Each structure stands twice: as C-alpha cells, then as structure tokens.
Chain A
C-alpha cells in the first residue's frame, strides 16, 4: 500500500515537474511540430537585418526572403542553401513584401518609396508604381497574388484592394467594424483570410468581395500579426508578443499553441509573418532573429 502511494506521489510530482518546466504547458509535446531548417545568411557580417516577408516558388522549389533592413531579396533552395542575393542594383528602398509572377517578374512592396514596384528580371529594370483607390493614396503593406490579380493590403485603411495586371483597382475587402483594420491576409481555397489585430478575429471573404465569416480568436492571442491556413484547413495565427503560433480548427476553436521566446534554434524573438510552403512546412519569418525557420510535423 505504502509502495503504491509512493509510486502515485512520484507520478504526480513528475507531472507537476513537467508542467512547471513548461513542457506540457507550452504544447511542445502535443503539437508534434519539429524544427526542420533555417533560411539565413551564414556569413555574420552579411546577415539579414529585419527580414519581413517570404515567398515560395512552388514550381522551382525556391524560397525568397525579403531582407528589409539591407534592401535586398535572398533566394534559397528547398534544402535551405543560399542561392542568390539580389538588390536590383541598389534600387530597392525598404522592401517589405513580394510575390513572383509566372512570367519571371517580381512585384515588391517598397515602403521607402510607398510603391508597388515591378522588377523585370530579364530587362533588369525596376518600375515603381504608386497605388490609388478611388483617388486616395494607398500605402502598400502586404501583397498576395491569385491568377492574374494582385491583392494589396493598404496600411492606411487596413483594407485589402485587388488590382489587375495594369494596377487598376477592382475590389476592396474591408471591415467597417474592426477597429484599426487588417494587418495581414492570405489567399487559400479561393478565399481571402484577413487578420483583424485589434478585434482579434479572422475575416473570410470570397474573391468577389462578399464577406463569408468572422472567426473570433478571443483572448487566446495577445498581439496577432500574421496568419495562414494549414493544409487541413486549420487556422494558424502568429502572436508577436507571445512569440508563438496559436492553432484553431476551421470553426475557430482554439486547439493548441507551439514555439516560444528565445534566440536559439526553433525559438522566436520578433516574428513578423508565417506562411505554409507547398510541402506542408510552416515558415516563420523572424525579424528579431533575422532568419526564417521552417517547421514540419
């Protein structure tokens, strides 16, 4: 009997010890996510400074990282090896986000010029364009593409605006009831998923502008800055202040969270964007640690 009691006490104390070390509390053992690789410049003297976004070229199997602090774009292969560093002849001014087109060009949000710039890789030209919506100046922040359309997040209004290839504005996706507007969005399954930071909610729109759903995240997040939709339809939300990723099912029910604060491998300091690659990896762009880390299950 005494032995049984002692064994019970041992098991209870083991559980308490695990909880107190954050082992279970942080969900690291239940989430099943594991660090896979890092995208970074290995030469410290040439390290990235405040990378802010990434893009994945599924066809070529390349990752592209926007190195905002050093005004350049870096490309990596699927193994995480650096392929190229591109600064468009020093023409880029505070690049912030990018998408690659199917015809060998790159659209880059240049905050320094408040422009959406087109880099023609063959012609080696950079053409900045100032965007407007109904006569009002747009401040491009995030960019996504779907088909021939570009979708641009206007930081000044917190709304998403679609543009055709001639940069003619078409549709605006906004929320009049969501405080300071959207801070990030992704296109998944012919839907726009937009993150309302202040209201801690995810808005889902059809591409024709119709609002389909509002998914409340509640107090499960502190300072959400980015989101993406996983292969199974789960919603992943990056919490900059908590330095972790919160995961919700399709209905918005909180499931678990993973990752944590730090500078070591697999830890986050000032994360700014998440994005799934076509191979199921979750890429986390970390401004503070100046790298992109890729996690897989």
Chain B
C-alpha cells in the first residue's frame, strides 16, 4: 500500500514537471495581457514561441516590466554579434545606454528589425533641437528618412553618417549637375557640408543660415591665390582670439595648417560662431572619452547644454580651460553657494597643496559615482582627506 502511494506521488511529480512551462506561462500571461498587442507582420521570436519567460519574470524582478535583466543584457543574450559590432567607434547614445527599445518594439511590429512604425518620430523624440521642417527642407529629412544618411547604432564618425559626407551627397546628386551650379568654385568640388546644411535652412540650396563676411564678399576674397589660408588670415579680423590663444592652455592645434578650421567653417554656419556642427559633437571629436565618462557617470551635473558654459573654447589661464577658478565658474549659476557651505575661496587654502579650496575640490561636475557628484563618498571619505584628525 505504502509503495503504491509513493509510486503515485512520483508519477504526479513527473507529470507536473513534464508540463511545458512556457505554454503554462503563455496561458497565464494572456489571461490578462491582450494577445492582439503581441501580433504583427514581424513577431519577435521569443513572442512567436510563446516564451514570455525568456525576458520576463512572472513574479518579481528588479527591472521595469518585470524584465529578468537589464534590457540590453537580455537583447544581447541572443543578439551576440550585434553586441560586439555596436561597441566599436562612435556609439549612438540609446545604444550606449542599452536602451534598445527606444527604437525597436520588443514584441511585434510591421517593419523589419522590429523598428517602430514611425522611426523618424523616435529620432525626434531625443533630437528635440531639430525642427520638424525648415523653410527649405532637404527631401530625405522632410520624408523622415534619417537612415538615408545616418547609421542608428554606431559609426566611425560623430554624426553617425553612413559614409563620407561628400560621398553620401553624390549618392543622390549627380556630380556633373552639381558642378554646373558651382561654376566659380575655386577648386575641385568637395566638402559640401562646409556651406550646406544637410537637413535644411532658410536659404535656397540649403546654404547655411549665417554667412561668413568674406564668403559673402565672394570666394576670391580669400581664394585669390595670394592670401594665405592659414590661421594668420583669420586672426587679422579676430585679434581677440589671438589674445586668448596666448594662454598657457589653448586649442591651438594642427589641422591642415589652420587651427580655426578644427571647429569653425570659413564659409557658412548655423549660428553666429560658424561652428561646423553642434558644440558638444565638436568637442567630442577630440574629447570623446571625456564625454563618454560624463554620460556613463552615475551622478553628474545635469542640464549641461554646451561645454562652453564652463570652459573657454580658445584658451584659458585656468585648470581644465575653465572660464574662471573652481568657484568663479560655479557661481555663474549657483549664486549663493560658498556663502553658507564649507568655506571656499582665496582665504581657504588646501593644507596639502596650498591651493585655494573651491567647489571643484569636492565636486566634479563631469560626473562621479557619488551623490551630488562628489569626488568621494560624502559621509566620511571625502571629509577625512583633509580633516584627518576626525
């Protein structure tokens, strides 16, 4: 009798274990979650296999949506090749942050690669600085075909272009046609983006909105065969910049003999500074690791729009090319700080170095792993660097 009960018990256990767990999960999930929301022209394989449990824990999880792991960890557990490929070069911010679902639907969709139905809307959701349309709008931009020129995951350039910019232009525009429209061009037709905005502008021919005066005066004002095209030519009209370049730290550096052209277009730009692109992208072209460190820091100064809010762009007599000492920069915005907190300023000297204690003695706006972007843990470790007797 006892043996038959034991056999019966074992049979029940085996039967329970042999039930397809995914089917069970599937049945349970769709009791509450409308199955219609998980169907489409393209269905993600785990969904098609009714394996909700591949990504979700039905009971409890640390991650939003009851995800078993961080989103990118889950995705890369199957898409292993992509993980390697997306780590190379300049990585698009959502990819770097592991936010695959910013652009991809995780369950089902109508497009290949489970790209969401309106990919341009996904782009604009982050790139809020871009207008929906311009007075004169480039056709691919107007049609929301961002991927005509850009790569969504990573590229070897900061703009995430799918190739050399001139080459991209020529993939639609016939060279012979372009040459007809550039009869006075002083050299072989090249470097389209130096004058044209590939998204749009207020001017015909997508010429950038702000024109450099010599460019307005005509190509011959610089490209006359006699005037040099080096930095000295620029500094003739911008002596204030030369003054800044004589600081201990400056952005003088080689680019085809003219440091100015590292950041500025000599022809036309989208703002009064004639920058060759958004400031943060320009800075990142040399300071990429600094920007990545900022982005990846757990605690960092928020609302930093442009590096030039704190840093001089041409030259500086301060550390890290700041606009002032470690207090002067911060009080531009934090007017009351330093008046009631830890003493800072010229009368407060660091006992190790004799240097003035400033906001940046304790805080690193570029990001740290500690709350208030302190340079060390703030309850004790930071304080005892100086106050060792405590």
Contact = CB atoms under 8 A, between A and B. Distances in A.
Q: Do A and B bind each other?
A: yes
Interface string B279-321: 0000000110110010000000000000000000000010110
A181 B350 CA distance: 36
Interface stretch (B107-115, B143-151, B160-168, B254-262): B254-262
Given A41-B354, A94-B247, A264-B352, A180 B317 contact: no
Contacts of A181: 253-254
Contact of B259 (A112, A136, A156): A156
B255 A263 contact: no
Secondary structure at the B interface, as helix, strand, loop or mixed, is: loop
A270 B366 CA distance: 15
Contacts of A40: 353-354
A158 B355 contact: no
B289 A222 contact: yes
A241 interface: yes
A180 B253 contact: yes
A31 B349 CA distance: 32
B254 A157 contact: yes
A158 B254 contact: yes
A279 interface: no
B245 A139 contact: yes
Interface residues of A, number: 42
A293 to B, nearest CB: 11
A270 B355 CA distance: 13
A interface secondary structure, majority: loop
A230 interface: no
A285 to B, nearest CB: 12
Contact of A264 (B257, B320, B361, B385): B385
Interface in A8-65: 40-41, 44, 47-50, 52
Contacts of A290: 353-355
B75 to A, nearest CB: 25
A158 B258 CA distance: 11
Contacts of A113: 246
Given A156-B259, A180-B254, A180-B262, A94 B319 contact: no
Given A96-B248, A264-B385, A289 B353 contact: yes
Contacts of B361: 263
A265 B253 contact: no
B246 A111 contact: yes
B101 interface: no
Interface in A178-235: 179-181, 198, 222-223
Contacts of A289: 352-353, 355
Interface in B325-378: 349-350, 352-355, 361
Contacts of B355: 47, 49, 288-290
Nearest to A115: B246
Contacts of B293: 241
A291 B353 contact: yes
B230 interface: yes
Given A50-B319, A180-B253, A68 B232 contact: no
Interface string B191-219: 00000000000000000000000000000
Given A158-B254, A264-B385, A111 B230 contact: no
B254 to A, nearest CB: 4
Interface string B71-101: 0000000000000000000000000000000
Interface of B: 230-232, 245-248, 250, 252-255, 257, 259, 262, 286-287, 289-290, 293, 317, 319-320, 349-350, 352-355, 361, 385
6 contacts: A40-B353, A94-B246, A111-B246, A139-B252, A159-B254, A222-B289
